[in-house]
């Protein structure tokens, strides 16, 4: 790995409690994520994984506790554009919408604070070009997104998240609905973004095998945090696969896990 993990926490959560529809989904959890980490968030259905992401984004408000992103509250003017969001089921786009890959990625530049202050069109083009290159989509820039496979479209959505010079990427189930080759290709992309481009990543996934293979650290959530540590030390991970909504096929790390074949 070429990217070293910093001791600087870009996400700091303390005693966070969140309710949705009158139900307490997260109960007094505390969590730090440092710059350069790739963290996998796992847990059974309804355990609060998406709720946690939405709270980090500032979409949901906590009942108690605090969330600091880059040292400030979520969605503050200080950190706008620094947090990229790839939502669950991002591959679902209405058939009536016709937009090229380039145009989709350009939407991500609207989240950049400098753009709001009148950034030059040249800078916007630079960020789009960089995002295309980082995600391997340069040759598909002018193709309508309706022609993309599920894995290619997911890459385009990740590129959109990167277009604001994002430093911290939140992904909610990015591997859902893609075939094995696309899954492995996406995992290789995320690995490169973290280890070679210095991005910090928090990924929710039901694919325990993918999380074990790619991340520095796993957080197992079920009401509270039940485990927070390295994939190698994850206790009884075969038992975790029996929980609702968690898939587990192969847990051993390998240098060739990302190879398509």
Q: Which of 206, 214, 224 is nearest to 48 (CA)?
A: 224
Note the pLDDT of residue 159.
95
Residues 6+ apart with CB under 8 A from 118: none
Is residue 19 helix, strand or coil?
Answer: strand
Where is 154: in which H helix or E strand? Answer: helix 150-162
Predicted confidence (pLDDT) at residue 193 exceeds the cutoff of 90: yes
**CA-CA-CA-CA torsion sign (132, 138, 142, 148):** negative
Q: Which of 5, 186, 175, 193 is nearest to 84 (CA)?
A: 193
Query: Predicted confidence band at 192 (pLDDT cuts at 50, 70, 90)?
Result: very high
117 or 30, higher pLDDT: 30
Distances (CA, A) of 82 to 86, 109, 206: 13, 11, 26
Instruction: Pick the most confident of 21-35, 76-90, 234-248.
Output: 21-35
- Quote the distance between the C-alpha of residue 26 and its chain's center: 19
Segment among 92-96, 113-117, 160-164, 182-186 with least mean pLDDT: 113-117
For residues 199 and 227, what is the distance between their CA atoms, to the nearest angstrom?
23
| Mean pLDDT estimate for the chain | 84
Q: What percent of the chain has pLDDT over 90?
A: 57
Q: What is the mean pLDDT of residues 36-48?
A: 93
240 or 189, higher pLDDT: 189
Q: Which of 200, 195, 217, 187 is nearest to 161 (CA)?
A: 200
Where is 101: in which H helix or E strand? Answer: helix 101-106
For residues 242 and 78, what is the distance between their CA atoms, to the nearest angstrom?
42
49 or 81, higher pLDDT: 49
Phi and psi at residue 251, to the nearest 5°: -110, -10
69-92 as b/e, with b when 16 or more CB fall inside 10 Å? bbeeebeeeebbbbbbbbbbebbe
For residues 240 and 234, what is the distance between their CA atoms, to the nearest angstrom?
10
Residues 6+ apart with CB under 8 A from 208: 42, 237, 240, 241, 246, 247, 248, 251
What is the C-alpha R_g of the chain?
18
* Pairing relationship of beta strands 200-204 and 168-172 according to DSSP bridges: parallel
For residues 98 and 146, what is the distance between their CA atoms, to the nearest angstrom?
7
pLDDT digits (tens, 9 = 90+) for 222-254: 878 999 999 988 876 555 555 444 555 544 444
Note the pLDDT of residue 123.
80
Q: What is the mean pLDDT of residues 29-47?
A: 94
Q: Report the topology of domain 11-237.
A: Rossmann fold (3.40.50)
Note the pLDDT of residue 68.
95
247 or 137, higher pLDDT: 137
Note the pLDDT of residue 235.
74
């Amino acid at each position: 790995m070429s990217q070293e993990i910093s001791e600087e926490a870009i996400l700091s959560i303390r005693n966070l409690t969140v309710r949705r529809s009158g139900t307490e989904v997260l109960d007094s959890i505390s969590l730090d994520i440092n710059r350069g980490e790739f963290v996998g968030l796992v847990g059974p259905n309804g355990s609060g994984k998406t709720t946690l992401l939405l709270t980090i984004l500032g979409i949901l408000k906590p009942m108690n506790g605090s969330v600091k992103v880059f040292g400030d509250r979520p969605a503050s003017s200080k950190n706008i554009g620094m947090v990229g969001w790839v939502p669950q089921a991002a591959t679902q786009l209405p058939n009536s919408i016709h937009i090229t890959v380039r145009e989709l990625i350009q939407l991500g530049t609207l989240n950049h604070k400098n753009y709001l202050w009148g950034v030059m069109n040249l800078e916007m083009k630079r960020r789009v070009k960089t995002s295309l290159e980082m995600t391997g989509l340069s040759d598909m820039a002018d193709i309508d997104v309706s022609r993309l496979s599920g894995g290619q479209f997911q890459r385009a959505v990740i590129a959109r998240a990167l277009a604001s010079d994002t430093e911290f990427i939140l992904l909610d189930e990015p591997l859902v609905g893609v075939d094995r080759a696309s899954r492995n290709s996406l995992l290789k992309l995320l690995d490169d973004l973290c280890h070679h481009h210095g991005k910090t990543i928090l990924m929710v996934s039901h694919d325990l095998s993918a999380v074990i293979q790619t991340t520095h650290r796993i957080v197992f959530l079920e009401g509270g945090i039940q485990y927070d540590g390295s994939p190698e030390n994850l206790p009884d991970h075969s038992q975790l696969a029996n929980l609702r909504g968690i898939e587990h096929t192969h847990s051993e790390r390998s240098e060739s896990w990302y190879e398509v074949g």
